[in-house]
Structure 1
Amino acid sequence: MENLLLLHGALGAASTLAPLKQALAITYNVYTLDFAGHGGQALPEQGYSIELFADNVLAFMNEQQLEQVHIFGYSMGGYVGLYLAHQHPTRVKSVFTLATKFAWSEESAAKETKLLNPEKIKEKVPQFATILAERHVPQPWEDVMRQTASMMQQLGANPTLTPAILAAIQQPVQVAVGDADTMVSLEETIDTYRTLPNARLLVLPATKHPLEMIAGSRLQHEIQLFTASVRAPLPV
């Protein structure tokens, strides 16, 4: 069986991908990991960055002796997967992104980070605060959120995936987005699809941003269809 690595999104953890991992385990050798500062991992002194998370993935692959993997990345995980594909092209066989935000600017970063206010979340969405606390224990979820906001601001000022980098990624990529996603626009997803030289576009109908609101069976089917279309492994 081929290797499939699932990468979680911002504020997420490997645990959020457990149902999908279980569903796909029949077809693939499936792996998940927690990025630094997520899922109880120590908060990095240098703060969050896409480059750091890509290094986390590469280190994990080396530890697990995985020469090549297909990557499925949800939201921020897709951004990390594409960056890794550019930096280490022989290690990544394909990338499937879902609900990944590509159009980073100072304006879009300000819009997203405005929502990442721990005090307001405790007040207005206490259930979500409880989920985050359990997901990231023993690390304070408030610090996880603050570092995520800081990373988004950095992306707004200097996006990691520039058009030139996207245009240089040769691996097969499937770019997917829900048509009801209010965080990631259809327009930015299409722009990225058109910039990538070897890409497919998938628009999921009546689908919002949260992963748990997407039918697992549909996602499992789409991942299987896409990876089956990647015929030959890249040279090691």
Structure 2
Amino acid sequence: MPYLLVNDINLYYEEIGKGETLILLHGLLGSMEDWRRFIPLFSKYYRVIAVDLRGHGRTNNPKGELSNNLFCSDLTGLLDMLHLESVLICGYSLGGYVGLMAALAQPFRIKALVMHASKMFWNDDIVGFMLQRLNPDRILAKTPRFAETLQKMHGRDRWILLLKEASEYLQTMPNEVLGLKDFGRVNIPVLVSVGDRDELVPVEEAVRFYHALQRGELLVMPNTRHSLDTVREQVFIQAILDFLTRVQK
């Protein structure tokens, strides 16, 4: 399985399919496995590259810290290493945010972006809510199956360290996130997708973000919570494929 030395990390990725390059980015505490069931469908039409972000899955994190700037630098570094001058990005939650940062940093390179369940507006109350959910003792006591998933995905010892790094990262979000003026500078097509029952990203927030974009489109998925596991696969995939096909014409 391929690794690339990008910045200070050994970044893990998998590649399948031919055609235009579609980068898949996962959410916080996830890995490329978030997208596993979708990859065979996307790879019928695109060259799919699915990535484990810094500190997640099989990608290490020597710095022991996470930040939006690091995630973005790692992504653009990967594109450099693979000599990719033009890509499409589909990001879930954190992955969508990283894709948006890349689109602002290198708009000549990112042709279109899909963002599903990406939270764009943060405050101290939201951070406090998230920090409670990232407490390892709470996870072990209340959601032991989730703890098992994290152990399998990130490693028996690594998962608790990742929770610590993720907690520190989230505490910076109210001060580091992009704002409405930044959203207005995004000049590529962006599909803003959200579940109508998302516990973290209310539909109203997604609409506010979508309205701030120059070339935004909105997709509301019915009966869908924040987890990517809850989307209706065929409906979700078809909406994304339709969007990507349309904006590339």
Helix, strand or coil at the partner of 2:77: helix
Match of 2:91 among 66, 73, 77: 73
Corresponding residue of 2:217:
200
For residues 182-221 of structure 1, the aligned pairs below 5 Å read 182-221=199-238
User: Structure 1: 5+ residue runs without aligned partners?
Assistant: none
Task: Please give the alpha-carbon distance, in whole angstroms, between the structure 2 residues aligned to 1:107 and 1:6.
Answer: 30
For residues 113-152 of structure 1, the aligned pairs below 5 Å read 113-137=131-155, 140-152=158-170
Corresponding residue of 2:9:
none
Q: What residue identity is the alignment partner of 1:114?
A: Q
Q: What residue identity is the alignment partner of 1:39?
A: G
Corresponding residue of 2:102:
84
- Kindly indicate whether the alpha-carbon contact (under 8 Å) linking 2:64 and 2:165 is maintained by their aligned counterparts in 1: no
Pairs aligned (count): 231
For residues 172-191 of structure 1, the aligned pairs below 5 Å read 172-191=189-208
Match of 1:24 among 26, 35, 42: 42
Aligned-pair identity in percent equals 32
Task: Please give the alpha-carbon distance, in whole angstroms, between the structure 2 residues aligned to 1:140 and 1:192.
Answer: 34
Helix, strand or coil at the partner of 1:187: helix
TM-score scaled to structure 1, two decimals?
Answer: 0.94
User: Any idea what the Cα deviations from partners look like across 1:98-140, whole Å, max 9, x if unmatched?
Assistant: 0111111122111211211001111111111111011012651
Runs of 4+ in 1 over 2 A off after TM superposition: none
Distance 1:167 1:139, change over 3 A: farther
Corresponding residue of 2:241:
224
- Kindly indicate whether the alpha-carbon contact (under 8 Å) linking 1:96 and 1:223 is maintained by their aligned counterparts in 2: yes
Task: Please give the alpha-carbon distance, in whole angstroms, between the structure 1 residues aligned to 2:157 and 2:119.
Answer: 26
Match of 1:161 among 168, 172, 178: 178
Give the superposed CA RMSD.
1.3
Task: Please give the alpha-carbon distance, in whole angstroms, between the structure 2 residues aligned to 1:54 and 1:6.
Answer: 14
Distance 1:161 1:44, change over 3 A: farther
Task: Please give the alpha-carbon distance, in whole angstroms, between the structure 1 residues aligned to 2:62 and 2:157.
Answer: 11
Helix, strand or coil at the partner of 1:209: coil
Q: What residue identity is the alignment partner of 1:61?
A: L
Which is bigger in relative contact order (C-alpha 8 A, separation at least 6)? 1
TM-score scaled to structure 2, two decimals?
Answer: 0.89
Task: Please give the alpha-carbon distance, in whole angstroms, between the structure 2 residues aligned to 1:112 and 1:153.
Answer: 10
Q: What residue identity is the alignment partner of 2:114?
A: F
Which protein is richer in strand relative to its size?
Answer: 2
Task: Please give the alpha-carbon distance, in whole angstroms, between the structure 2 residues aligned to 1:155 and 1:183.
Answer: 14
Task: Please give the alpha-carbon distance, in whole angstroms, between the structure 1 residues aligned to 2:235 and 2:167.
Answer: 31
Q: What residue identity is the alignment partner of 1:12?
A: G
Task: Please give the alpha-carbon distance, in whole angstroms, between the structure 2 residues aligned to 1:11 and 1:231.
Answer: 32
- Kindly indicate whether the alpha-carbon contact (under 8 Å) linking 1:41 and 1:139 is maintained by their aligned counterparts in 2: no
Q: What residue identity is the alignment partner of 1:65?
A: H
Corresponding residue of 1:42:
60
- Kindly indicate whether the alpha-carbon contact (under 8 Å) linking 2:120 and 2:177 is maintained by their aligned counterparts in 1: no
Q: What residue identity is the alignment partner of 2:112?
A: S
